Amino acid sequence: MLNDRFTARAGELTSTSRISPQRPRRLRHTESLRRLVRETTLTPADLIMPLFVHAGEEARQPIHAMPGQFRLSVEAVTQEARQIADMGIPAVLLFGIPQEKDACGSDNFAHDGIIPRTISAIKQVAPELLIISDMCFCEYTDHGHCGVINQQGAPDHHAYLPEGYLLNDETLDLLRRASVVHARAGADIIAPSGMIDGMVGAIREALDLNGFDHTAIMSYAVKTASAFYGPFREAAGSAPAFGDRKQYQMDYANGREALREAALDVEEGADILMIKPALPNLDILRTVRQTFNLPTAAYQVSGEYAMLHAAGAQGWIDLRRCAMESLISIKRAGADMIVTYFAKDVVAWLD
């Protein structure tokens, strides 16, 4: 063996050598080479920072299962928004936690509701920052579901539908109202996240009829009924009081159905498609990106964030390197933009 290599080096065996001239490692052995051939990079412009705003006075309430994340007061969130804009992050995604919750989530479409107030306040301090308003009812309803529920005794009770069934078209009416209220307050993008059939079409129509044809829709097109939303529900106090969300959020076992969901949203006028959660759905992200040619977003959700933090805190993984690796793979799979609780950290790490 050693002898063969020696003769090969001497040039005597070159034509019969079975060693390929292909040496991928040639482009790996210095950091400059690796940078030169790197196919995927992350920049601040790729990132969307989610923020939780609550109606209380307390400036920053820590969220237990999401280290480094807080429920912020309106005042605190505007300061935060200014800082995020200064870091070069183009957009925030807002979630509201109202003072009072009720059966139809009325704070979500009240003109002085938590989100409309927050949107106007942020627009004053950071006009260039894009405001994406998460459009769903689970944070606003007392039952924690994403819309109107069929309930005995309610005015819109349907005797022939099961108790606890999410009423689709009644929910669309509320989505229409709330979307116009958020747009009027200054939201740049409405992001319906409830997986209600027809939500994109209904919101598009309501926005257009009210003079907001320039307001974009980022649809949570493929959102699976995922256990990775656990920490978020603690943060927003939005765990369903009964049952689960499987009657409207998608079964995560279904890839073909995911494409059908995305196709419907494209037809209904979505401007941006979102896939969520991100890491468990990289195959769907890739297919949706290639099939529809619309800007595609991925949401690295609360459970993905919490897992990385938990293992990092134990010293079992390197939080920063694992977070970057996850985000780069999400981008490589096809995400044009990523919603991530790491957005601010990433900008700091890139520096």
d(CA 279, CA 17): 43
- Residue 286 touches ligand PBG, criterion: CB under 6 A: no
How many residues form the binding site for ligand PBG (CB under 6 A)?
Answer: 12
From residue 216 to residue 245, the character string flagging contacts with ligand PBG as x (rule: CB under 6 A) and all else as - is -------------x--xx-----------x
Whether 276 is a known active-site residue: answer: yes
- Residue 273 touches ligand PBG, criterion: CB under 6 A: no
Residues 37 and 51 sit within 8 Å (Cβ to Cβ): no
What are residue 338's DSSP bridge partners? 47, 298
Which strand (E) or helix (H) includes residue 115? helix 114-125
Going 264 to 268 to 272 to 274, the CA torsion angle's sign is negative
- Residue 261 touches ligand PBG, criterion: CB under 6 A: no
- Residue 138 touches ligand PBG, criterion: CB under 6 A: yes
Residues 204 and 276 sit within 8 Å (Cβ to Cβ): no
Rounded to 5°, the CA angle 184-220-222 comes to 165
Among the listed ranges 10-18, 134-142, 261-269, 316-324, the one in contact with ligand PBG (CB under 6 A) is 134-142
Q: Record the tokens describing residue 160, joined without a space.
A: 């022939």
- Residue 326 touches ligand PBG, criterion: CB under 6 A: no
Binding to ligand PBG in span 26-85, by CB under 6 A? none
Given phi > 0 = left and psi -120 to 50 = alpha, else beta, which region is 301? Answer: beta
Q: Name which position in 84, 136, 148, 187 contacts ligand PBG (CB under 6 A).
A: 136
Q: Could you say which of 101, 123, 246, 276 is catalytic? A: 276
Among the listed ranges 7-15, 56-64, 131-139, 330-338, the one in contact with ligand PBG (CB under 6 A) is 131-139
Q: Which is nearer to ligand PBG, 80 or 134 (CB)?
A: 134
Whether 223 is a known active-site residue: answer: yes
Q: List Cβ neighbours of 203 (8 Å cut-off, separation of 6 or more).
A: 135, 175, 176, 179, 190, 192, 217
Q: Rule CB under 6 A: which residues touch ligand PBG?
A: 134, 136, 138, 146, 193-194, 229, 232-233, 245, 301-302
Catalytic residues: 223, 276
